[in-house]
Amino acid sequence: SNPFEVKVNRQKFDILGRKTKNDVGLPGVSRSKAIKKRTHTLLKEYKEREKSNVFKDKRFGEYNTSITPEEKMIRRFALERQQNYGKKNIYNLNEDEELTHYGQSLAEIEKLNDVVDSDSDTEERGTLSAELTAAHFGGGGGLLRKKVSGGQQDEEEEKPKSRKELIEEMIAKSKQEKQERQTRRESALELTEKLDNDWKEIQTLMARKPPKSERKDKEVEKPKPDEYDMIVRELGFEMKAKPSERMKTEEELAKEEQARLQKLEADRLRRMRGIDEQADKKKPSHVSADDLADGFILDKDDRRLLSYKDGKINIENEEEEKEEEEEDEEGGEEDNENEEESEEESASEDEEDDAADSHSDLESDLESEEETAENKEQKRHQTNENESQNVEEVDPKREAAKSELPYTFAVPESYETFKSLLAGRTVEQQLIILERIQKCNHPSLAVGNKAKLEKLFGFLLEYIGELATLDLPELGTIDKLILPLYNLCQMFPEAASDSVKFILRDAAHDMEEVIEVKGRATFPGLDTLIYLKITSLLFPTSDFRHPVVTPAFIYMSQLLTKCRITTLQDVIKGLFICCLFVEYVSLSRRFVPELINFLLGVLHISLPKKQVQGYTVVHPFTPVGKNLELLLVCDKEDLESWQKQNLPLGIVTRLKETSRTEINHIRLSCLAMCFDLIRKCAALYESLPSFHEIMHPIRILLTQHMPVNEYPEKMQEWYHGALKELENKVRHYTPLICEKKKPVPLKQYTPKIVKVLEFGRKQASSKKEQERKQLIQRHKRELKGAIREIRKDNQFLARMQLSEIMERDSARKRKVKELLGSLATQEGEWKAMKRKKWKN
Amino acid sequence: QLPTGLYKKVLVILHDSVLPYMNEPTLMMDFLTVAYGIGGAISLLALNGLFILIHQHNLEYPDFYKKLYSLLDPSIYHVKYRARFFHLTDLFLSSSHLPAYLVAAFIKRLSRLALTAPPESLLMIIPFICNLFRRHPACKVLVHRPGGPADMSEDPYIMEEEEPSESRALESSLWEIQSLQSHYHPDVAKAAAVLNQSLSEMEDDISGLLELSGYELFDKEVKKKATDVPLEFERVRGLFGKKNDIFAEHFSLD
């Protein structure tokens, strides 16, 4: 355009890659645009500022640019017609009636005229019309012809035909031909129709079974297909067997299993080192073999809190009576199902065997224990039943009912129902019940089953705890219940860990409370010890950090440091925990100071009271004071007659009734256990750099204070085993050297690359801050723009007002001038007239 | 001259309920000195009053550090007044004018005793020792001795020596902390592993760790939200049914 109308915004620097939008401005154009816009909007508003009436243009599509004018017209017309529809116009005569001619609609006739039927008889109609014209208009040709044909037919045959005749003949011929053609076509049509009908009939026949006679014919025709053919056919139609993986051989299976175990072991080692603890979290979670892979996320453990109850025996009695009634009913119901029951039972037992597969030898070992446990249980029941009056009546029925169990079990909703379900059953039956509960309520069967089975784990755990707190702890039963517990744990690791944690927390909380109240704690019951043992069975204890095992570690450490040792049971419990510690760290070889302290203390209390030298015992043992010599045995005979025995676990609850000799033997067994544990610890910790410092007090005690010669030979064996393990470790110290620090890299002059969000803005700030700044900036810019626009609006309005005033003023001036002019002429005329008069 | 129970009660409140209100706190000097000499928990408690006298009333106490050194025995990690004792020890050892052999002896003795300590004390003492290293860089030979003898058959440090200067602590290395790197508690192991690297400049704040109790540790561990629970893959066969189960050797189910 005109270069004088262009304003160029000069750039200070040319920057590569920057695109500029505003390097050329057209001030004239933009100004005129703005003025135009304002005249359309602002000026209009200004002019209509005092008007309340509004002109509304309701014409259809008047301002709609998307509709073409023709369409617009059509639509408007349609609208008009719609409006008029239904309105009766009194002046409108016969508008709706159709005009006819000979009973035919005129409009139709008009239409038909245009249509040309190629197929149908145009000529015919042509002739017809010709005849008609003849008839109507009295064409002489036709009449003439008739007369001629009537009079002289014979002559005509001989005579050469006139042109007219020839034409007539031709017409007739063609007519005939045409008729023939039509008839042919009609007949063909008829025939096809008939054929169709026939075919339909036949088709229905074919679809059904052919009539008997026909079939016979066919049979005669076809020889009976022999078996070979049939088999060939069958094989042809049979689903093709898809190639599958071949059966694995024993070796391969073993190899695979080994690989799996190796992988798990590697996993365990990685966790044990705890190096990639953080990275570990991001990895996909461990998937157990029993995982359903259904993507179900565990909810929180929502089981009810149940409290332990006192007076269990009483409760059990009541419940057993209840149980008996129930069983009676069951027995009545299920008499007829006897056979099936037994089958089912054997089947499930088989399955159980499968589950335990390779441990069958162990199973047999346990069998005997189990039996004893059973016997005991039954005895217990019988004693209970003796108390209740109707022993003889109930017993036989009960025995009968015992051998039958219902097929299906619902998962018990509360611990009470769970207990009543298991109460009064033998161990095998309890196991079967548990298994059936698991089978009937497998998570894949229904939605809620998972939560239910998770609860079951808690119940089972609680049940085990209860069995352990009985006066005669049913350890055999517990032993058998471990397997279902393990299986449940494999299915629901999260819920299981929550349950175990919950129990541990309860126990720790109880201990803390006791410490706060009494200032010292006592060892917990057998149930807690069993729980700790179960923890080591269910979870890997070698992990660097484990949600269940780490708290268990801390709890056990507290037990060993905070609990007072006042009785022999305390010593046994302490040694049990020591065993637990050794087992927990047997793979990871982690250092447990409490363990060494406790073993030292145990050795200390086996010595006669005297001034300690060369070593210091630590809490909870004291160098002087009471509760010493707990493990001291002076009786020569007892020393002689001692045999190393495995301490029965139940001893921790019932020690009182044993004789003095037995107690002495137990003491010696404890001491032997202590020696053994020391030996194991020495083996575990030999790699620690300060192994000798750790073991120093124990070694001093063993070498200088132990009355070795008084001990029986067996004990001396244990003693020397421990001492040897301690002594024959090389002393090896290498000075510590720090790991080298990574050198801090020097500052480089390579350009720092920063993401550019907007040019000309400060970049050095966080993203959020940048966004905020940008927003502020944009707001400022918009505000400025708005102010500018308002100012321009005002200027425009003022200009308009001014021009209005000027216009008005000029009009007034003009009018005044006119008036003055007219007045002047009037005056002039008047004066002229006056002068004339004067002259006249 | 007082029964131990009363002694303890008096000493517990002495420093903030008695000494500030006395016209002449120096009168308590003899009482505190005697109490300090008794040993055990009473000495630990007397330390607080004594500190006030030394700090605010110009008490000269000969062989104070030697006495403090001799107070260190395994029970310090187990007693109730652990927090108070370590708070004061931290104060006493905060002076940068202490000779290196003394601090090294303290470090060595504390870490030797730490071999019998429960985890809650260990979590406190390891940062404590780290702080000592930061204050006294001369002691860093304990954790970093590049040109030393390759192999030693004995730890040169003499534990039984009463005199810190005679204990040859500076010739030793901190093997105890290295042993604690394989402690069963993950946090202790991590804290001990800090000494493998060169230390940061900033001192750790141990005031929050002084009062740590075992139950708190347990609670913290239990309340952690576990995302993933690894399971034991070895199938169980019974309560004592693990491979080489120790329990099977010593206990029987009966």
Per residue in A539-558, pLDDT (tens digit) is: 888 888 888 888 899 999 98
Number of domains in chain A: 2
- Span A408-432, pLDDT tens digits: 777 778 888 888 877 777 878 888 8
pTM, rounded to two decimals: 0.60
- Please identify, among A706, A728, A750, the residue that sits at the C-terminal boundary of a domain: A728
* H-run or E-run covering A207: helix A163-207
**The pLDDT of residue A304:** 41
| Token pair listed for A690 | 């300060």
* pLDDT at site A828: 94
Is the CB of A733 less than 8 angstroms away from the CB of B155? yes
Structure tokens at A478: 């517990």
In the predicted structure, residue A313 carries a pLDDT above the cut 80 = no
The model's confidence at residue A520, banded by pLDDT at 50, 70 and 90, is confident
**Containing H/E element for A801?**
helix A767-839
Of A496, A505, A693, the CB nearest to B155: A693
Q: Which two tokens stand for residue A454?
A: 């998770």
Burial class (CB in 10 A: 0-12, 13-18, 19+), A384: middle
Whether residue A714 sits in one domain with residue A600: yes
Q: pLDDT tens digit string along A632-657?
A: 777 777 777 777 777 777 777 766 66
Q: Is the pLDDT of residue A143 over 50?
A: no
- Of the pLDDT bands very low, low, confident and very high (cuts 50, 70, 90), residue A246 is low
Q: Which two tokens stand for residue A438?
A: 């698991």
The confidence band for A434, taking pLDDT boundaries of 50, 70 and 90, is confident
pLDDT at B212 over 70: yes
Q: Does B184 contact A590 at a Cβ distance shorter than 8 Å?
A: yes
Kindly tell me if the per-residue pLDDT of B40 is higher than 60. Answer: yes
Find the length of chain A: 840
Q: What tokens does B206 get?
A: 């141990």
Segment A177-187, tens digit of pLDDT: 999 999 999 99
- Arithmetic mean of pLDDT over chain A: 74
Do A553 and A616 belong together in one domain? yes
Q: B61 and B50 in contact (C-beta within 8 Å)?
A: yes
- Give yes or no for B231 touching A (CB within 8 A): yes
DSSP secondary structure string for all residues of A227-260: HHHHHHHHHHHSPPPPP-PPPPPHHHHHHHHHHH
Q: Is the pLDDT of residue B25 over 60?
A: yes
The verdict on a CB contact (< 8 Å) between A536 and B178 is: no
Q: Which H or E run includes A27?
A: helix A27-38
Residue of A nearest to B115 (CA): A593
What is the pLDDT, as a whole number, of residue A96?
Answer: 58
Confidence of residue B246 (pLDDT cuts 50, 70, 90): confident
- Beta strands at A7-8 and B251-252: parallel, antiparallel or unpaired: unpaired
Test A579 with B222 for CB contact under 8 angstroms: no
Q: Which of residues 1-20 of B touch A (CB under 8 A)?
A: none
pLDDT for the residue numbered B158: 87
DSSP per-residue string spanning A538-594? HS-TT-SS-TTHHHHHHHHHHHHHHB---SHHHHHHHHHHHHHHHHHTTTT--B-HH
Q: Which of A674, A700, A728 finishes a domain?
A: A728
**Would A720 be classed as within a structural domain?**
yes
User: Taking the mean position of all CA atoms in its chain, how far away is CA B168?
Assistant: 20
Q: Report yes or no: B40 at the A interface, CB cutoff 8 Å.
A: no
Any idea which of A67-71, A410-414, A718-722, A761-765 has the lowest mean pLDDT?
Answer: A761-765
B26: confidence class by pLDDT, cuts 50, 70, 90: confident
CA dist., res. A329 & res. A325, Å (int): 6
Can you point out the beta strands (E) in A46-103? 100-101
Q: What is the pLDDT of residue A94?
A: 60
Residue length of chain B: 254
Which residue in chain B has the smallest CA separation from A278?
B227
Q: Are A403 and A343 in contact (CB under 8 A)?
A: no
Nearest chain B CA: its distance from A229 CA (Å): 55
Please give the residue range of the domain that contains residue A617.
492-728
Contacts of A267 (CB under 8 A, 6+ apart): A286, B230
- Residues within 8 A of A (CB atoms), B 173-212 only: 173-176, 178-180, 182-186, 189, 195-198
Task: Determine, yes or no, domain membership for A634.
Answer: yes
Q: For residue A780, what pLDDT is reported?
A: 96
Tell me which residue has tokens 């089975």: A453
**Closest to B247 measured CA to CA, from A444, A580, A668, A432:** A580
Instruction: Give CA A704 to chain center in angstroms.
Output: 66
Structure tokens at A800: 């308009």
Average pLDDT rounded to a whole number, residues A813-835: 94
Per the domain annotation, does A149 fall within a domain? no
SS (H, E, C) B80-97: CCHHHHHHHHHHHCCCCC
* Interchain pair B242, A550: CB under 8 A: no
Q: Are residues A581 and A662 in the same domain?
A: yes
Averaged pLDDT, A574-579: 90
**By C-alpha distance, which of A680, A695, A723, A673 is closest to A586?**
A680
Provide the β-strand partners of residue A101. A104
Q: How far is A395 from chain B (nearest CA, A)?
A: 27
What is the rounded CA–CA span in Å between residue B169 and residue B72? Answer: 15
Q: Is B155 on the interface with A (CB under 8 A)?
A: yes
* Whole-complex ipTM: 0.92
* A508 → closest Cβ in B218, B230, B246: B218
For all residues of chain B together, what is the average pLDDT? 83
A484 lies in the same domain as A498: no
d(CA A131, CA A137): 10
Cβ atoms of A306 and A415 closer than 8 Å: yes
Question: Which tokens go with A473?
Answer: 């702890």
3-state secondary structure of A202: helix
Give the residue from A707, A728, A749 where a domain finishes.
A728
Q: Indicate whether A224 belongs to any domain.
A: no
Q: Check residue A463 and give its pLDDT.
A: 87
Cα separation of the two ends of chain B: 54
pLDDT at A122: 45
pLDDT tens-place string over residues A484-510: 888 888 888 888 888 888 899 998 888
Between A148-157, B27-36, B113-122, the lowest mean confidence (pLDDT) is in A148-157
Q: Tell whether A700 is covered by a domain.
A: yes
| Whether A514 and A582 share a structural domain | yes
- Is A694 in Cβ contact with B115 (below 8 Å)? yes
The answer to whether residue A779 is domain-embedded is no
> Would you state the pLDDT for residue A793?
94
Please tell me the predicted confidence (pLDDT) of residue A278: 47
> Which among B150, B179, B239 has CB closest to A591?
B179
Query: How big is the CA angle at A805 (ends A804 and A809), to the nearest 5 degrees?
Result: 120
pLDDT tens track for B91-138: 888 888 888 899 999 999 999 999 988 898 999 999 899 888 888 888
Rg (CA), chain B: 22
How does residue A103 score in pLDDT terms, banded at 50, 70 and 90?
A: low
* Inter-CA distances, A114 with A101, A107, B100, B132, B211, Å: 17, 12, 127, 118, 113
- For residues A581 and A406, the model is more confident at A581
CA A625 to CA A615: how far, in whole Å? 17
The answer to whether residues A598 and A538 belong to one domain is: yes
In angstroms, the Cα distances linking B85 to A30, A280, B58, B128, B215 are 85, 40, 21, 12, 20
| Positive or negative: CA dihedral A642, A648, A653, A659 | negative
At A317-375, the pLDDT tens digits run 444 444 444 444 444 444 444 444 444 444 444 444 444 444 444 444 444 444 444 45
Same domain, A592 and A567: yes
| Closest by Cβ to B75, choosing from A590, A594, A618 | A618
Test mutation, A690, A695, A744, chain B, max B CBs within 10 A: A690
Residues of A in contact with B224 (CB under 8 A): 547
How high is the pLDDT of residue A282?
Answer: 40
pLDDT tens digits for range A451-461: 888 888 888 88
> Would you state the structure tokens that stand for residue A211, as one six-digit string?
């009539």
Confidence of residue B84 (pLDDT cuts 50, 70, 90): confident
pLDDT mean over B208-237? 82
- The verdict on residue A529 lying in a domain is yes
How buried is A773 (Cβ within 10 angstroms: 0-12 exposed, 13-18 middle, 19+ buried)?
middle
Q: Tell how far CA A5 is from the center of its chain.
A: 67
Q: What is the CA radius of gyration of chain A?
A: 57
Contact A690 B155 (CB under 8 A): yes
Cβ(B215)–Cβ(A551) below 8 Å: no
Please give the Cα distance from B236 to A489 (Å, whole number): 12
Question: CB-CB: which of A594, A680, A688 is closest to B179?
Answer: A688
Is A656 within a domain? yes
d(CA A265, CA A262): 5
Cα of A732 vs its chain's centroid, Å: 56
Q: Is the CB of residue A762 less than 8 Å from the CB of residue B219? A: no
- Residue A421 and residue A452 in contact, taking contact as beta carbons nearer than 8 Å: no
Q: A805 in helix, strand or coil? A: helix
User: A710: Cβ–Cβ under 8 A, 6 or more apart, which residues?
Assistant: A639
Chain A's closest residue to B217, CA to CA, is: A554
| DSSP secondary structure letters along chain B | ---HHHHHHHHHHIIIIIGGG-S-GGGGHHHHHHHHHH-THHHHHHHHHHHHHHHHH----TTHHHHHHHH--GGGGTSTTHHHHHHHHHHHTT-TTS-HHHHHHHHHHHHHHGGG--HHHHHHHHHHHHHHHHH-GGGGGGT--TTS-S-BSS-S--TT-SSGGGS-GGGS--HHHHHHTTBSSHHHHHHHHGGGSPPPSSPP--HHHHT--HHHHHHHHHHSPPS------SPP-STT-STT-HHHHHEE--
Q: Would you call B73 an interface residue with chain A, using a CB distance cutoff of 8 Å?
A: yes
CA distance B243 to A135: 128
Inter-chain contact B196–A493, Cβ cutoff 8 Å?
Answer: no
- Which residues in chain B are contacts of A504 at CB distance < 8 A? 222
